[in-house]
Structure 1
């Protein structure tokens, strides 16, 4: 697999970003050390989830803090500044306008992979990607999604380390953690410092 010039696209709510997200970035660079860059793309609103309560500027600060130590890794704020539900097909089209001819690979978790055929314009997305990179969240091995069979040559399963962390659980846990000045294990020191300073998620 020729990874030279490859651009990774890693989207999500990142509300808040945690060490599981950082492990995905680490796995990307371990598997594709010659890639051009990795773009972190926080969304404004997922079509599958409720609206966020955390302000976009706060999420951008947290995401920047989480990923700033990774080489050639940038935060792209196009989705979160649109203030509309984020659809991946629109994001990929916009990226190809900004970066014509780019070799794009999309990073998604195994849960999203199992439902990928239900995404809006999912076949168009895969037709525009060089690779779909699937990372583990829970499973030792990820079952194949037979609906994506004709795109199997584009699908790569990452052997990332599984870290038990979920943003939804952290949002529930954080008010008490802030009150007790107790950092959750799943948060980096830099992200925790910003949350504590701004009393976010209280």
Structure 2
């Protein structure tokens, strides 16, 4: 089975994430796209993150009606901070019949060479790259194990959503409706 892995903190998951994942699932030969909820991204401050179980629950809520999308908390049980290569190695051992590829935004290509064992990720797994506003051309886009997908450019950030919540503004249409109710019900990000 071919699986696309969409790593992120999803703090919170928003419609931009959902559109990208669904577009990749529909326009590729993947059986599924898995959201890999990262407890701690080595490039981000962990203090700004909502508890990982709330973020995982919001992802599950957001994708509940789409059989091509799945969520995994696999990184919750791995050493922290989370490194993509370690997660890929673990998943490959756990699911030897699956082929995994990493889904990233074009803007992440600029820093990709700073990722732990990035050459192994390219060689053994490969990248699915979706367009992002302001991203420049990267020589990595011409690598044989990098596939560029045509996808809408949705310029929504989780930071913007969290700021809206803190300011008492509506986040309707920015997140899945059930995720919005979850956030309101638990008084998250206030």
TM over 0.5: yes
Could you say if the C-alpha distance between residues 111 and 80 of structure 1 is closer, same or farther in structure 2, counting changes exceeding 3 Å?
A: farther
Distance across 1 between alignment mates of 2:101 and 2:79: 24
Q: Is 1:133 matched with 2:124?
A: no
Q: 2:36 aligns with which of 41, 44, 61?
A: 41
Deviation, 1:80, is 3.2
Consecutive unaligned residues of structure 2, counting only runs of 5 or more, are none
Unaligned runs of 5+ in 1: none
Q: Establish whether residue 70 from structure 1 lines up as the match of residue 58 from structure 2.
A: no
SS at match of 2:35: strand
The DSSP-based 3-state class of the residue aligned with 2:167 is helix
1:50 maps to which of 45, 52, 55 = 45
RMSD over equivalenced CA pairs, Å? 1.9
Aligned residue pair count:
189
* Range with bigger deviation, 87-96 or 106-115: 106-115
8 Å contact from structure 2 (residues 85, 118) kept in 1: yes
Question: Contact conserved, 2:161 with 2:171, CA < 8 A, in 1?
Answer: no
1:40-189 superposed matches below 5 A: 40-51=35-46, 52-82=48-78, 84-129=80-125, 131-139=126-134, 143-146=136-139, 148=140, 152-177=143-168, 182-189=170-177
TM-score (norm 1): 0.86
